[in-house]
A and B are shown apart, each in its own frame.
Chain A
Amino acid sequence: MHEVGIAHSIVEAVRTEMKSYPAAKPVKVTVAIGAMSGVDKDSLSFGFEAITRGTPFENMILAIEDAPADELELKHLELEEP
């Protein structure tokens, strides 16, 4: 199960992005996953929950959209600004 590794890559991307918005809170990150990507959506959600528990990303929602073929892309990040 490599979905935990994929989840780590997503969290890292969010962490990097948040440097540009130091006061904001990440609310939702959206990824697009194709059926040929080799990534299982349920496993990814499970892994994402497990690795974000007890971190500043604990309440961030992972939204997963369907995508064509082997696509595995970060789409967008929703932030709450103070």
Chain B
Amino acid sequence: MSGTTTVNLERKVLSENDRLAAELRGEFARHGIFCLNLISSPGSGKTALLERTLASFPKDKRVAVLTGDIQTDADARRLARYGFPVRQITTAGACHLDARMIVRALEGWDLATLDTLFIENVGNLVCPTSYDLGEAAKVVLLSVPEGEEKPLKYPGIFFKSKLMILTKVDLLPYVPFRLDDAIANARSVQPGIEIIQVSTTTGAGMDDWLKWLERRGPEGRSGSAPSQSRL
């Protein structure tokens, strides 16, 4: 019989990535790991935040970091100084991490020894938005010099994030950044987004971030704290 047939597909474009992410989420829940996916533009301070965070942890803290970059292992070397397991994922051109890269990067690691895993995504405010990595939550960083309009210009990642960390707030007196507008812009895209203000230079706000980790950790570890988009 000749003619045109229409086949219903009705599935996610990234269903293979989502399948792997669901497996990762299951693994994290089984081992009680709170996994966060940190996303921002290049240079917003993801690595600096992680450095200061790792430095504040006791030596027996069960934490590890996967850090993604297009090239170099510079970030992994920076982060490894704090004595916790760190692995670099070099994407060799890809502008984001995907679930398969996480699966590979975790090979050989005993997940039973961890309760917290930070994934530092490739510096990019667009591409990482689409890829679920099995995290309990996406965390978006916005640095003060970038301007308060970022949440409106790049709504996808702010929509999907559970927490926005405003970084480099020590620069507020020196740059024309309207803090209230930045917060209003983020909330206009995602009314439920939580917001913390941090300076890794002065240490301001670090307590708020560490308390957020403590508060959100238990629900994240049980697998009951899905990314914002699924709330």
Contacts and interface: CB of A to CB of B under 8 A. Distances in A.
Contacts of B129: 36-38, 70
Given A36-B159, A38-B129, A74 B229 contact: no
B13 A6 contact: yes
Contacts of B107: none
Contacts of B9: 13, 17, 29, 73-77
Interface residues of B, number: 34
Contacts of A69: 159, 229
Size category, A interface? 20 to 34
Contacts, number: 103
Interface string A12-37: 11000100010010010101000111
Residue among B11, B13, B130, B160 with the highest chain A CB neighbour number at 10 A: B13
A42 interface: no
Contacts of B131: 2
A78 B5 contact: yes
Interface string A38-77: 1110000000000000000000000000000110111111
Contact of A36 (B2, B6, B155): B155
Interface of B: 1-17, 94-96, 98, 126-131, 155-157, 159-160, 189, 229
Interface of A: 1-2, 5-6, 9-10, 12-13, 17, 21, 24, 27, 29, 31, 35-40, 69-70, 72-82
